[in-house]
Amino acid sequence: MNAVPAEALPLVISERQNNAQRILALDEKAQAAGLSRGMGIADARAMHPSLEVIEADRPADQRLLEGLADWCDRYTPLVALGDEGDGLFLDISGCAHLFGGESRMLEEIVERLLQQGFDIRTGLASTPGAAWAAARFSPPPGEIADGCEAEALDPLPLAALRLDEKTVAGLESVGLGNIAALLDAPRAPLVRRFGRHLATRIDQALGNIEEAISPRLPVSPLSVERHLSDPIGTLEEIESLLRMLATTLKEDLEQRDQGARQLQLALFRVDGAVSRISIGTSRPLRDPVAITRLFHEKLARLEESLDPGYGFDLVRLAVPASAPFDARQGDLAGQQEDEGEGLALLADRISARLGSSAILIPQKQMSHQPERAVALTRFAQAKPDQRFSQEPSPIRPIRLLTRPEPVEAAAEIPEGPPFSFRWRRALFRVARAEGPERIAGEWWRTSAPPARDYFRVEDTEGRRYWLYREGFYGEGENHPRWFMHGFFP
């Protein structure tokens, strides 16, 4: 007896459902052999002992679908995952003319996906519900003209309305075998028996009510792109094209009086993979040279992990976030004086190369307590008016302990500075002292800490410390406590 070639075996994907292995998906050979979705694997093997069965891998399917969604982003930014996890919705409104019209766009999508090894069914309609039905139940190419939804859906089965199996079985039990029969039936009795969801699905498919799709990625309000007949792959080619796109983007930003706060470079590879590279700016930016420099640092960091494959045939530069651009008057030489601009650009370049957390800047907080008065923030997220603030501030140590540490201090007078203190088992003699600086408790907090008296002290060896006394002498039986809080240079 000759063995059946592996390529001729029917193939099914199985998944455990209701404590039984059932067919989740099947190929054309398995379908021609009389198998169907939902059939038990044991029954299927009894019919065809040579059946090839593969266990379903839902996470892998999800990753593949998300990869296809990334690839479809070249046609429209409005790409959403289907409810059942086996399809995509593309809102091509305003995009089809870039590809020669809706039909030509659909043909290109099918052709390119077939070249990548996918078997694809498509539907084109003015509503998501009608497009979903056309892709699954209408013959290719599955195009439904605007206003012809009811006529196109009439001969299709009830499942084309995205109804669950229980609802479909109930409708069929009362003699409604297709959508035409359902549309001719009175609406009120159907809603009473099968619920409002049935009427909603009908209205969504026909366009009587609006159905919006939720894009899986946020849509940038401004972007420029370039389709390439000859794919590129080197960093030099990417940066050269990037500068051209940034120049075009500058004109659009100038028309809006905006500057970019975030920029994203999307590189679409010929085989469908997409690389997205994002940078942030500490100030609104629209200078093409500065933008190119920032991406140069980012690309240099990602050079080893950025795989061009057979090249990138589409490059897009988008602005996910922008802010008003403060245009400043230059001098007669055309130069603008801004003490913070150079530092901001340097910080952005370092952050692009080393990461957004490479440069931190202290930011004032709404608190009196020294340990809460300042918080370290990423440079790009810091408030511009506090990055280069020249406002006078109280004298503070260069190093502040995360938590004040208790010390044993002795003072000559109750409210005066200590003449000696013991900290971490070491005794320190005070040679000079300044203070006190009183910092009251934060009255707006539920459990406000007591007031503190801070002293700047210097020991006999020239080391300077920041101590404070918590509480006052003569208040009850508890004596004031002393703490070490920081060190001066």
DSSP 110-160: HHHHHHTT------B-SSHHHHHHHHHHSPTT-B--TT-HHHHHTTSBGGG
- Exposure letters 301-316 (e unless 16+ CB within 10 A, then b): eeeeebebeebbbbbb
DSSP 296-348: HHHHHHTTTT---TT-EEEEEEEEEEEEE-------TTS----TTHHHHHHHH
Provide CATH 3.30.1490.100 ranges for the chain.
Answer: 222-325+342-352
pLDDT tens per residue across span 20-60 = 899 998 888 898 889 998 899 999 999 988 899 999 998 99
Q: What class is the 6-56 domain? A: alpha beta
Q: DSSP 3-state assignment of 445?
A: coil
Contact predicate 219/78, CB 8 Å: yes
Contact predicate 54/13, CB 8 Å: yes
pLDDT at res. 366: 78
Amino acid at 459: D
Q: How far is CA 235 from CA 191, 287, 304, in A?
A: 60, 20, 11
pLDDT at res. 4: 43
Query: What are 353-359's contacts with CB under 8 Å, separation 24+?
Result: 353/297, 353/298, 353/300, 353/301, 354/301, 356/280, 356/380
pLDDT tens per residue across span 361-391 = 877 777 778 888 877 887 777 766 555 555 5
The band of 195, judged by pLDDT with boundaries at 50, 70 and 90, is very high
237 Cβ contact list (under 8 Å, min separation 6): none
What value does the mean pLDDT of the chain take?
87
Residue 3 has pLDDT above 50, yes or no: no
Provide CATH 3.40.1170.60 ranges for the chain.
Answer: 6-56
Contact predicate 226/246, CB 8 Å: no
C-alpha span between 222 and 89 (Å, rounded)? 22
State mean pLDDT over 125-133. 94
Q: Quote the pTM value.
A: 0.74
C-alpha span between 222 and 84 (Å, rounded)? 31
Closest CA to 74 of 102, 105, 104, 118: 105
The band of 255, judged by pLDDT with boundaries at 50, 70 and 90, is very high
pLDDT at res. 1: 39
pLDDT at res. 92: 92
CATH classification number, 222-325+342-352, choose in 3.30.70.20, 3.40.50.300, 3.40.50.720, 3.30.1490.100: 3.30.1490.100
C-alpha span between 122 and 113 (Å, rounded)? 11
The band of 8, judged by pLDDT with boundaries at 50, 70 and 90, is low
190 Cβ contact list (under 8 Å, min separation 6): 182, 198, 199
State mean pLDDT over 469-478. 70
